[in-house]
Amino acid sequence: MRHVVTVAGRDLRSMFLSPVAYGVLSLFSVLAGVFFVLNVAWFGSLVSRFQQFQAFDQLQQLNLNDHLIGEFYGSMSVVLLFLIPGITMGLYAAEKTNGTQELLLTSPLTVWDIVLGKFLAGAGFVALLVVVVGLFPALLFVYGDPELGRSASGLLGLMLVGWVYVVIGTFASSVTRSQVIAFLFSFVMLLCLLLLPAISDLGVAGGSGLGEGLRYLSTGDHFDRLVKGVVDTADLAYFAVMIGTFLVLTKAAVESVRWR
Amino acid sequence: MIEAKGLTKRYGDILAVDDVSFSVEKGEVVGFLGPNGAGKTTMMRILTGFLAPTDGTALIAGHDIFEESLEARRAIGYLPETLPLYPEMSVDSYLLYVATIKDVPRAKRREAVAHAAERCGLADVRSRVIGTLSKGYRQRVGIAQAIVHDPPVLILDEPTVGLDPLQIVEIRQLIAGLAAPARGEAQHTVILSTHILAEVEAICQRVILINEGRKAVDAPLSELTRDGRSLEALFARETARDLGVAGSPAE
């Protein structure tokens, strides 16, 4: 495990030596700006509408955290779903086409060095994206008074959701040589993950334990609670289990090369 | 230095390597010879720990490739058939990365990189991006990454493939120099694979001829070429039977 950081450092540097990281970073920043402006405008329209109809009760309940920052985080979590596969698709697939997979697997590295290193590289990049997201609510602290704790726990939620997307993306990359297939595979898996609660709500699962199970598997509920400011160890455990499971699957996929 | 014991590798129904045993002494340069698809690359991938053998094992510098896999891999410098290069990195940062994952102590890494670059004639291109280098230079970078941690064992899979005649001569001199080093340099044990017979004659002391996954010949070069016999004839005799090449001796 000594070389986790070495592997992560190389992958992060390579992302910034190619246009991918800059492309994703700038696209993401633009989208964050657009969504923030939209959310602010929407919040403004809510305020003016409630004032117009003199709905003071509702006006009382409006707050920056629930009706602006939370919505904004939610939008950005969906944006992450589209962009993260672009970051993770090359992590393993490019090593295979470069031939560097052979270098990694014949070096005195353990498979965990490689798997954790690559996850760390992706996770580090997501942390950077989350910092970009965090800049926008920070503006609100200048002009209003959102709750710091809830703004921060929502950001934590966004980062954890991003990490789950990264770990699924690295798994997709580890099972194929083609970056295109890695992108599509992770994208489909992430969309399924996003749609699980909708499937559960349809009642197809029969409202039984299965429906509950589907909801639990999705990041949605866990993320929502963190955005609401509820930091529950059960939700943190969910993220840990998801990340751990896919890391183990990725390790198996990387190792399987030896046993072909 | 290298001891292979009953190595066998199956890909499904295909027997790629069939019960191959051999040993290589310190400082020897051994040529793996054989037609394309004979199992040379598979053999090398097993020795370097990239592939697990279906059966058998090997000792590299006294370390079992299963039991002490990390130690065995640390003792090996490996140039795979496909050069393991990151095209977006500079030569220097790439070699530094390889030195790091090969466990060269931090204090010695810069020196190790400079030394390997020097030996492979890369001194002038160290800050260049690998993707912009010519094929010959990339091949040198491939060899430099194999020797950067000064391993006792070098395994080179077709080190001169795709080079022009002048570059081939240079690379051969480099390899010969690695096995019979100047004073102060560590001596390397080298296994290289090729299907160029002249290459074997130029740098190898011993030949292991592999055909259809089996070891067909294992003898010193001097013995094989004694009395004016040629490697071509040997190669044809040992491999032609199965290929059905015209002019092969009738059985």
pLDDT tens column, B128-147: 999 999 988 999 999 999 99
Q: Which residues of A touch B52 (CB under 8 A)?
A: 258-259
Across the interface, do B98 and A7 touch by the CB < 8 Å criterion?
no
- Tell me how close the Cα of A214 comes to any Cα of chain B, in angstroms: 38
Residue type present at position A147 = E
- Do the bridges between strand B55-60 and strand B63-64 make them parallel or antiparallel, or are there none, so unpaired? antiparallel
Structure tokens at A162: 């991003």
Q: Which residue from B minimizes the CA distance to A111?
A: B70
Three-state secondary-structure class, residue A132: helix
- Mean of per-residue pLDDT scores for chain A: 91
Helix (H) or strand (E) holding B18: strand B14-24
- Write phi, then psi, for B245 (nearest 5 degrees): -70, 140
Query: What CA–CA distance (Å, rounded) separates B204 from B198?
Result: 10
Helix (H, G, I), strand (E, B) or coil at A12: helix
The answer to whether the CB atoms of A107 and B101 lie below 8 A apart is yes
Question: Is the pLDDT score of B243 beyond 60?
Answer: no
> Please, which pLDDT band fits residue B166 given cuts at 50, 70 and 90?
confident
Q: Is the pLDDT of residue B199 over 80?
A: yes
Maximum Cα–Cα distance across chain A: 72
Question: What pLDDT score was predicted for residue A206?
Answer: 58
* pLDDT of amino acid A54: 83
CA distance A136 to A134: 5
For this complex, say whether ipTM is above 0.90.
Answer: no
Instruction: Choose the closest CB to B51 out of A6, A107, A258.
Output: A258
Q: Which residue has the tokens 């065995």?
A: B72
> Could you read off the pLDDT of B15-56 as tens digits, one per residue?
999 999 999 988 889 999 888 888 899 999 999 999 999 999
Q: Check pLDDT > 60 for residue A45.
A: yes
Instruction: Let me know if A233 is exposed, middle or buried by CB neighbors in 10 A (0-12, 13-18, 19+).
Output: exposed
Q: Residue B242: its pLDDT value, please?
A: 52
Distance, in Å, from the CA atom of B149 to the CA atom of B99, rounded to the nearest integer, reads 6
Closest residue of chain A to B51, computed from CA coordinates = A258
Question: Chain B residue closest to A94 (CA)?
Answer: B86
Give the pLDDT confidence score for residue B184 in this predicted structure.
63
Instruction: Give residue-wise pLDDT tens across range A76-99.
Output: 999 999 999 999 999 999 999 999
The least confident of A49-63, A194-208, B161-175 is: A194-208
Q: Is the pTM of this model over 0.95?
A: no
CA distance A226 to A204: 28
**Residue A177 — very low, low, confident or very high, per pLDDT cuts 50/70/90?**
very high
Nearest Cα of chain A lies from the Cα of B102 at a distance, in angstroms, of 6
Nearest-neighbour CA in chain A from B84: distance (Å): 4
Chain B residues close to A104, C-beta within 8 Å: 101
Rounded CA Rg of chain B: 18
Residue indicated by tokens 């077709």: B158
Among chain A residues, CA nearest to B103: A108
Distance CA B134, CA B136 (A): 5
Strands B214-220 and B76-79: unpaired
- What are the residues of chain B with a beta carbon less than 8 Å away from any beta carbon of chain A? 11, 45, 48-52, 70-71, 73-74, 76, 78, 80, 82-89, 93, 97-98, 100-103, 145
Q: Give pLDDT, residue B248.
A: 44
A10 band by pLDDT with thresholds 50, 70 and 90 = very high
pLDDT at B227 over 80: no
Type of residue found at B108 = K
Quote the pLDDT of residue B251.
Answer: 41
A26-35, A133-142, B227-236: range with lowest mean pLDDT: B227-236
Q: Tell how strand B2-11 and strand B14-24 pair up.
A: antiparallel
Token readout for A243 is: 């990340």
DSSP 8-state symbol, A233: H
In this model, does residue A243 exceed pLDDT 90? yes
Reduced to 3 states, what is the DSSP secondary structure of residue A34?
helix
pLDDT at residue number A246: 97
**Would you say residue B247 has pLDDT above 60?**
no
Q: What pLDDT score was predicted for residue A202?
A: 74
Report the pLDDT value the prediction gives residue B157, as an integer from 0 to 100. Answer: 93
Q: What is the pLDDT of residue B225?
A: 80
Query: How far is the alpha carbon of A259 from chain B, nearest alpha carbon, in Å?
Result: 6
Q: What is the mean pLDDT of residues B185-211?
A: 86
**Residue B241: what pLDDT?**
57
Identify the residue among A96, A106, A259 best suited for mutation to test binding to B, counting B beta carbons within 10 A and taking the highest.
Answer: A106
DSSP tag of B90: B
Contact between A121 and A12 under an 8 Å Cβ cutoff? The reply is yes
CA–CA distance from A244 to each of A116, A194, A224, B19, B86 (Å)?
Answer: 10, 19, 21, 40, 29
pLDDT of residue B63: 93
Residue A69 is encoded by which pair of tokens? 């920052």
From the CA of B167, how many Å to the nearest CA of chain A? 22
A105/A178 Cα distance (integer angstroms): 19
The reported pLDDT for the residue numbered B186 is 67
B95-104 pLDDT per residue, tens: 999 999 999 9
B46-87 confidence digits (pLDDT tens): 999 999 999 999 999 999 998 999 999 999 999 999 999 999
Measure CB to CB from residue B49 to each of A6, A106, A259 and give the nearest one. Answer: A106
> What is residue B238's predicted lDDT score, i.e. its pLDDT?
78
Residues of B in Cβ contact (< 8 Å) with A105:
49-50
